[in-house]
Structure 1
Amino acid sequence: MTQKRKDILVVGFALFAMFFGAGNLIFPPALGQAAGEQVVPVIFGFLLTGVGLPLLGIIAVSKSGGDLESLASKASKKFGRILACGVILTLGPLVAIPRTSATTYEMAIAPFFPNFNPIIFSAIYFFIVLVFVLKPSSLIDNIGRVLTPILFVTMITIIAKGIIQPQGVLIDTGINISFSNGFSEGYQTMDAMGATILGGIIIAAIRAKGYTKTKEVSQITVRAGMVAAAGLTIVYGGLAYLGATAGDMPMELSRPALIIQITNNLLGTFGQGLLGVAVGMACLTTAIGLTATAGDFFSRTSNGKSNYKVVSITTAMVSMGISNMGVDRIINFAEPILLILYPMIIVLVALAFLDKHIKSASVYKGAVFSALFISVMDVIGTFIFPIPMMTKAIQGLPLATQGFGWLAPSIFIGLVFYLKDHYVNYTRKKVGYTH
């Protein structure tokens, strides 16, 4: 094997670890269980946002300066800063970090120590997080390097056992669940948002290995991303199938409880314990990385006015409070936030691949702000208070019933500004030629 291929595999496995470490394995089994016979289109939708979009996000930010703020600043610098803050807060104290603690408690602690107080656990968990964030050590990185392979092998073992000896057959669940349900559930992985933050880190890691040519860096990024995507596809697809064959289990089981029950049925208590410990430690490494990222981001963007340690401690304290809501309530809390952020990120990623054809910021503004407006109105009408006229107008848009009401207006408005720019440029050239 050549050195280049080795580097691609190393970076690819690192990407897999980054995306898989935040407890994302709890989503596919629940999707599969609800889908039953419809598991294929549902998981395909989930893979698009849970795997495909993060891969495209890594490539997009590499084309646009290496981070989300640079990409979003193509619409406006102020918007770029605001969106980056929103994403960091979501990946940080509002959703992702609390979910790592709640997932660890529900998968690694509660099944074995049901009387252990969750508030005390979260205090211990975030104390450990702060120990590593405030005094960085290579220990946690080494733990991560060991635990990710253990977690991956454990998941493959569970999936293989579930395929060879299925728990049940695929059934018609009677639940109306489709491609769009999987697509929107993929938002909950938050990997596409993570990709826009991690893109710069990956590019820097590739350059540190001695690759300096832009084309070569881009090729390695794409191939490493495909390695990570392949691993995630195997695990997510397999877990969804396991969920689809678990139709006899109660539908009211929480997401963590479902994967725990599946693992216990297939590998017994030992397998359940191994999974819980590996997931818990992987979540811990993710929480440490995200807390440090939040501290660094807000310290840097405030030009040092917000102290790194103060931000990190605040992030941990807020995360601790939210973590005690429990996994399912955190997921419900995150839904409206993600329904607003994700359409904008999807539009920005798509435009990054068309950037060389875009002549001004107006195309970015038109497309992104259209997606933002429709998403915000839809979320207000669905989660806060009904706006009958607005809801009716949004439901009348193409693909609105599938959850993509923002798509057509975004494309249309972006195209209008694109044609306007070309018309203005054509007119200017014509006038210049005449004179």
Structure 2
Amino acid sequence: MKKKTNDILIVGFALFSMFFGAGNLLFPPYLGMVSGKNWFISFLGFIIADAGLSLLVIVVAAKNKGILDEILIRGGKKLARFIGCASILCIGPFLAIPRTAATTFEMSVLPFAPNSNTLVSVIFSIIFFGITYALTIRATKVIDIIGKILTPILIISLLALIVKGIITPIGPISSTSMIDRSLFSEGISQGYLTMDALGSAAMASIMISTIVSKGYNDPKEQISMTIKAGLVSGLALAVVYGGLTYLGATLSTMHDLNTSQALLVVAATEGIFGAPGKILLAIMVLFACLTTSIGLTSSAAKYFSDISNGRLSYEKIVTAICIFSAIVSNFGVSTIIKFSIPVLQTIYPVMIILVVLTIFTKKIKNDNTFKGAAYFVFVFSILSVLNSLTGVFKFVTLVPLASLGFGWIIPGIVGAILGSFIKTRKI
């Protein structure tokens, strides 16, 4: 029993580290700053969209052997493969993995060497992804490396910052918020940007592989341990997010909307620890981003190796991801985040609606229920993104719950109902 509990904790804390990367460190303090005394409202939206959805996906993925396509398949083979690949590419070499290196460079290197040029950035990205490659190439060792070695350093650094910031606040909390839109919706939007829910299914696969390698061969026991490890991770994330959001709120009278997310975190650590805060921040960012890079690289490589039935080896995909991510990371954090917003706002809702329906998969006999919901949400998400970019589809803002970031729920329900009337055989 002691060994089992220890293994759950190791896997759970490793999962926490894989989730807690660039966006997880950047977004909560900024939410707290723009929210002022109402920081808990935005935090609530953030924790639901990040840890809440991630846990939901892990539970569903664990019951489907950690196979992402098994969750999506009843929405249609083509859409399932498209959403699956798009999700993994987002948490992989296109967005999330390069962002880890870019954030580490901007927050762990530039504060000490502000005049660094492009060559320095390129050299850093090569070193960063060289380490990622070395620690990722053996898939079953990823969890142990992160859970036993890297996570403790990250958690101790984060707790030191949060506890000190609570005991000696940097400044008074503003009585008003800086934005005129819903703080809860803003939290939801920022939670999307972490991309954690997209990676949860793929990470569940790595978790299950690790649990199997530790000698747990009973499928029910594997599912139980995976879910419990997910709960450990979710609780740790909630505590850290709450602390970081509060720290951001204590900066709300000292900064404005023009303050970048990275600079705000720098200001928080320096305000709490003074000059040594830069060193602590460098440590936090390095380990937060490195553990996430390792976890996402391993998850993405395993997914593409699995769907290719082994024709593309895990090792070759890891190599390709590291090389490609090293190139993309040199575009910088702001550019990567700006590009990621419309992509995530399109993919996330489809993933969520299919995950939710999969919970009731035994009760829903008609595959067209899934397909109707998935395609209606997909179309609505595209229109919402186009409206945010051009303003030509303003009717999407009139849909109930749109102001909270959940406008896709009604189209999903309508699509599910209409689809249920179309008879088809189960896949």
TM-superposed CA distance for 1:277, in Å, is 2.6
1:283 aligns with 2:289: yes
- State whether structure 2 residue 89 is matched by structure 1 residue 89: yes
Measured after TM superposition, the shift of residue 386 of structure 1 is 4.0
Distance 1:125-1:179 versus aligned 2 partners, 3 A rule: same
1:301-320 aligned at under 5 Å gives the runs: 301-302=307-308, 312=318, 314-320=320-326
Q: How does 1:136-147 map to 2 (within 5 A)?
A: 136=137, 142=145, 145-147=148-150
Distance 1:303 1:12 in 2: 29
Alignment of 1:104-115 (within 5 A): 104-115=104-115
> For residue 255 of structure 2, what is the amino acid of its counterpart?
P
Q: Does 1:59 find its partner at 2:62?
A: no
Distance 1:155 1:179 in 2: 24
Corresponding letter in the other structure for 1:413: G
Other-structure match for 2:179 = 175
Counterpart selection for 2:203 from 198, 201, 211: 198
Per the alignment, residue 233 of structure 2 pairs with: 228
Mapping 1:336-351, distance limit 5 Å: 336-351=342-357
Q: Is the contact made by 1:15 and 1:225 (CA closer than 8 Å) also made in structure 2?
A: yes
Q: Please tell me whether the aligned partners of residues 208 and 226 of structure 2 are also in contact (alpha carbons under 8 angstroms).
A: yes
Distance 1:119 1:28, change over 3 A: farther
Mean Cα deviation higher: 365-374 or 408-417: 408-417
Displacement of 1:254: 1.5
User: 1:313 deviation in Å?
Assistant: 5.2
Answer whether contact 1:45 1:183 (CA < 8 A) is retained: yes
- Assess, with a 3 A threshold, how the Cα gap between structure 1 residues 146 and 296 changes in structure 2: closer, same or farther: closer
The change in CA–CA distance for 1:144 and 1:255 in structure 2 (over 3 A counts) is farther
CA distance in 1, matches of 2:190, 2:382: 18
**Using the alignment, how far apart are the partners of 2:261 and 2:353 within structure 1?**
30
The TM-score, its normalising length taken from structure 2, stands at 0.89
Residue 20 (structure 2) pairs with residue 20 (structure 1): yes
Deviations 1:284-308 (A, max 9, x none): 3432443454445445544566676
Cα pair 1:368 1:410 within 8 Å, conserved: yes
Report the equivalent of 1:166.
169
Q: Determine if contact 1:8/1:223 at 8 Å carries over to the other structure.
A: yes
Question: Which of 145, 157, 160 is the aligned partner of 1:157?
Answer: 160
1:144–1:282: 8 Å Cα contact kept in structure 2? no
Quickly say closer, same or farther: Cα 1:303–1:219, change in 2 above 3 A.
closer
Task: Look at both structures and tell me which one has the larger radius of gyration over its CA atoms.
Answer: 1
CA separation in 2, counterparts of 1:284 and 1:14? 12
Structure 2 vs 1, CA of residues 223 and 141 (structure 1 numbering), >3 Å: closer, same or farther? closer
Distance 1:123 1:88, change over 3 A: farther
| Residue 398, structure 1, aligned to residue 403, structure 2 | no
Quote the offset at 1:351 in angstroms. 1.0
- Out of 347, 352, 363, the position equivalent to 1:357 is 363
Number of residue pairs the alignment of both structures matches: 420
Residue in 1 aligned with 2:278? Answer: 272
Closer, same or farther in 2 for the Cα pair 1:139/1:380, shift >3 Å? Answer: closer
Aligned AA for 2:201?
T
Aligned counterparts of 2:270 and 2:131: Cα–Cα separation in 1: 33
Instruction: Give the conservation status (yes or no) of the 8 Å contact 1:67–1:198.
Output: no
Distance 1:140 1:274, change over 3 A: farther
SS of match in other structure, 1:324: helix
The correspondence for 1:417, drawn from 416, 419, 426, is 419
> Structure 1 pair 201/318, CA: closer, same or farther in 2 (3 Å)?
closer
The answer as to whether partners of 1:359 and 1:421 remain within 8 angstroms in 2 is no
Residues of 2 paired with 1:210 and 1:367: CA distance? 40
Please tell me the residue identity of whatever aligns with 1:362.
N
Distance in 2, Cα, partners of 1:296 & 1:220: 20
TM-score by length of 1: 0.88
Partner of 2:31: 31
User: Which of 212, 228, 231 is the matching residue for 1:207?
Assistant: 212
What is the RMSD computed on CA atoms of the aligned residues? 2.8
Unaligned ranges ≥5, structure 2: none
Q: Deviations over 1:363-422 (max 9, x none)?
A: 111111111110011112222x443xxx23322211122222211010122133336669
Displacement of 1:60: 0.8
Helix, strand or coil at the partner of 1:111: coil
Moved more, 351-360 or 27-36: 351-360
Deviates more, 1:293-302 or 1:195-204: 293-302
Q: Which amino acid aligns with 2:50?
A: G
For 1:67 and 1:22, the matched residues in 2 are separated by 26
- Structure 2 CA distance for aligned equivalents of residues 105 and 145 of structure 1: 25
CA contact (8 A) 1:59 1:222 kept: yes
> Per-residue displacement from partner, 1:25-69 (whole Å, max 9, x unpaired)?
111000100011221111000000111111111111122232212
Q: Are the aligned partners of 1:52 and 1:229 in contact in 2 as well (CA < 8 Å)?
A: yes
CA contact (8 A) 2:164 2:272 kept: yes
Aligned to 2:337: 331
User: Of the candidates 234, 237, 241, which is equivalent to residue 242 of structure 2?
Assistant: 237
Structure 1 distance, partners of 2:347, 2:224, is 28
For 1:149, give the aligned amino acid. P
**What 5-or-longer segments of structure 1 have no aligned partner?**
426-435
